[in-house]
Amino acid sequence: MRLVVIGNGMVGQRFVESLAARDTARRFTEVTVLGEETRRAYDRVRLSAFFDGVSAEELTLAPPGVPAGTTIRLGEPATAVDREARVVRTAAGEYPYDALVLATGSRAFVPPVPGTGSPGVFVYRTLDDLEALRAHAAGRSAGIVVGGGLLGLEAANALRLLGLRTAIVEFAPHLMPMQVDAAGGAILRRRIEELGIDVHTGAGVTGIAPDGDRLAVGAGELTLGADLVVFAAGVRPRDELARAAGLPVAERGGILVDASCRTADERVFAIGECAAVDGRCYGLVAPGYAMADVVADRLLGGDATFGGADMSTKLKLLGVDVASFGATTGPLDVVYADPAHGLYAKLVLTDDARTLLGGILVGDAAAYGVLKAAVGGPVPGKLADFLSAGAPDVALPGDAQVCSCNAVTKDQVLGAIGAGCADVGCLKACTRAGTTCGSCVPLLRSLLTEAGVAQSTALCEHFAYSRQELFDLIRVRGIATFSALIGEYGTGRGCDVCKPVVASILASLGGGHVLDGEQAALQDTNDHFLANIQRDGTYSVVPRIPGGEITPERLIVIGEVARDFGLYTKITGGQRIDLFGARVEQLPAIWRRLVDAGFESGHAYGKALRTVKSCVGSTWCRYGVQDSVGLAVALELRYRGLRSPHKLKSAVSGCARECAEARSKDFGVIATETGWNLYVGGNGGFRPRHADLFATDLSTEELVRTIDRFLMFYIRTADRLQRTAAWLEALDGGLEHLRAVIVDDSLGICAELDAAMDRHVGGYADEWRAVLEDPDKLRRFVSFVNEPQTPDPSIAFTVEREQRVPVPLGMPEVSA
């Protein structure tokens, strides 16, 4: 028998694989797949990873080769279906069929408003779309995304990764209207706006018009300016072939099919986003996969049916966890909201509060896997445990669905573990769980742990080592470059996880300037320019002011630099002065003025020591019992430039009144009558934690030696992006183990830790000065590579409280 499949997207590929696995008797001897794109099927769910450096090849879903008897024709779209002759036509020929499967997917929806065909207007649908978008964005600074749903927020993140100042325009009253309610949308909006993205809700796009070399976008009553516009406002089913062939379609589009996914023609089936099962189209991949399996079964004589689909979703959008599962409204809603920390949770229950119907999570979706699997049954634990941050440790029933994309239950996962699967990769291969959206991967790890299987600590798919193991490999083997490390101990080309980690390790071990040679390509965005990029594409400059102590002469220099370069000035919470609004080509000139006056980089851009805050101590304060300023200056100068898994902050208080807030720092010091008390493992931020008292009444020499060892042990053993607070909480044996290692030398490594700190102190060099002395490094500090002297014309300012601040999108520039 001859089978033709129109479409080689995610669902079309799933169908071909599912049929090949079932058709052991080779009932279908000739299978032809017609693909409109020139690429084999790729993971459209992870499309935005393309802007994180993931290649098109890495996104492919097609295994090497094709099933026997299958021919895949790429770049050959079907042009017509002749149902009477049972032939599919393309520009290149005709393909007869005994059975036809339509997997034509969907197209991006672009509202019918003037100007959508203008240069600089894109959709966010295919890899070709993304490549065109990336090419156009080069050298530009501002973009607008039309659509505030899942795809719109993905597109907004893509524009941020391209270095563009970004705004979102959403027609609905709140973001993600199909997944979260108004309260959840409000908290999501707040979290996204904190990232520097402008959000305009309740505003439809009324038109796009050229405005010089930019675009003017009408959004409700506003007119917004941008260099490019991306439409990510939803999709529409690709049903045009079916319409032309006379097949019935749903009122709002989509090829009408029954529960077997069969159309009005018994030889023609439709699956995925183009299919309307009983009149309803499903816009997620999980229902498409279920339809693909149904049709593969039916074509071989089975009786499978499509019984609806789980529309649950869990994504990390712009760094914010967002999840919805089951019903999002119902008889009884139990809500937890913490706007200050960007957390929102709602559980939907039956009116007797005994059965979980669904819910919404924003800000922390750790409990998603457990809750989604429990829908339809009782809440697996206390409600309060699920309405605050984190996921409680509860057991799921065996029939609970772990992976909704591929309909995999807990029992199936445990069966695979019992058959020998010992890691997530094996579970993916055996059960397909975690192979689509990936949201169930944390639950897979939990089930491995529950089954008593030790978990891999691999950093990422390119290294089968933890960060600690890589640190030791680099240190012991004397490896100096990423390419040498991955060539000897890794696979592939690396990713956005392992590259910054290795860059940090190399810097911690004194591997030269962060912009030297290969090192430069590994750095995070801010480290690329040794400054913090801001929401308008400019940078902030933070000179180091050890202990917050500064002479009048140097204070005057900062003021003069800010005045001469038109910079916004702000005294930070860490007793420094932040200078905002510097264009990238201005950075070397600003640094030159500051370095000549005796300043150096404050490392506000790096995972390194930021500040050692202090009170005025015994020098001025009548309560002070020790010289807190002198110690703070000495500590900051000792640890400046120390690269670490996460940023480091410290403080020294001159008495127990604690004016420097030392107990909220990674390491904090409080003076006593006879010496210093040392506190470790504190932090402010999203989840504040008070530091633990580690040692009391230390002499200055003992204090410094203990801090040296604490920092070096942390740098050597912490996980990727793990702050000292989380590291200490996860440390086996906790504070007592740490004390045994760095005070009692239980591991015999204190001499190594002392030597490592001595090398750091002796090898310190200011990164700003090193750039100023190197013409090759200076060449990177330009807005446009082809016009090095040309400033970015899209950067504009207005005036607030007598200082220049960025112009919000859509606001006219005011002369400063």
Q: Which residues are annotated as a binding site for siroheme?
A: 659
Residues belonging to the binding site for [4Fe-4S] cluster are 615, 621, 655, 659
Alpha-carbon distance of 517 to 514, in angstroms, equals: 9
Q: Which two tokens stand for residue 90?
A: 């393309």
The contacts of residue 64 (CB under 8 Å, 6+ apart) are none
| Of 217, 225, 267, 259, residue with least CA distance to 101 | 267
User: In this structure, are residues 544 and 531 in contact, taking their beta carbons and an 8 Å threshold?
Assistant: no
CA 175-176-179 angle, 5° bins: 145
Q: Is 416 helix (H, G, I), strand (E, B) or coil?
A: helix
The contacts of residue 282 (CB under 8 Å, 6+ apart) are 273, 275, 288, 309, 311
Amino acid at 25: A
Alpha-carbon distance of 770 to 756, in angstroms, equals: 22
User: In this structure, are residues 643 and 660 in contact, taking their beta carbons and an 8 Å threshold?
Assistant: no
Alpha-carbon distance of 555 to 543, in angstroms, equals: 11
Residues belonging to the binding site are 615, 621, 655, 659
User: In this structure, are residues 256 and 239 in contact, taking their beta carbons and an 8 Å threshold?
Assistant: no
| Of 386, 385, 370, 495, residue with least CA distance to 442 | 370
Residue that the structure tokens 């409600």 belong to: 383
Q: Residue 763 to residues 546, 591, 701, 757, 760: CA-CA distances in angstroms?
A: 19, 21, 21, 10, 5
User: In this structure, are residues 264 and 247 in contact, taking their beta carbons and an 8 Å threshold?
Assistant: yes
The conformation of residue 640, written as its DSSP 8-state character, comes to T
The conformation of residue 454, written as its DSSP 8-state character, comes to P
Longest dimension (CA), the chain: 99
- Torsional sign, CA 369, 375, 377, 382: positive
Alpha-carbon distance of 699 to 705, in angstroms, equals: 10
Q: Which two tokens stand for residue 37?
A: 């794109």
Q: Is 110 helix (H, G, I), strand (E, B) or coil?
A: coil
Q: What is the DSSP string of 500-559?
A: HHHHHHHHHTT-S-TTSTTHHHHS-HHHHHTSEE-TTS-EEE-B--GGG---HHHHHHHH
Residue 539, φ and ψ in degrees, nearest 5: -125, 155
Q: Which two tokens stand for residue 185?
A: 């949308």
| Of 550, 531, 592, 585, residue with least CA distance to 769 | 592
Alpha-carbon distance of 100 to 30, in angstroms, equals: 12
Q: Helix 441-450 vs helix 410-418: angle between axes, to the nearest 10 degrees?
A: 50
| Of 671, 735, 734, 659, residue with least CA distance to 700 | 671
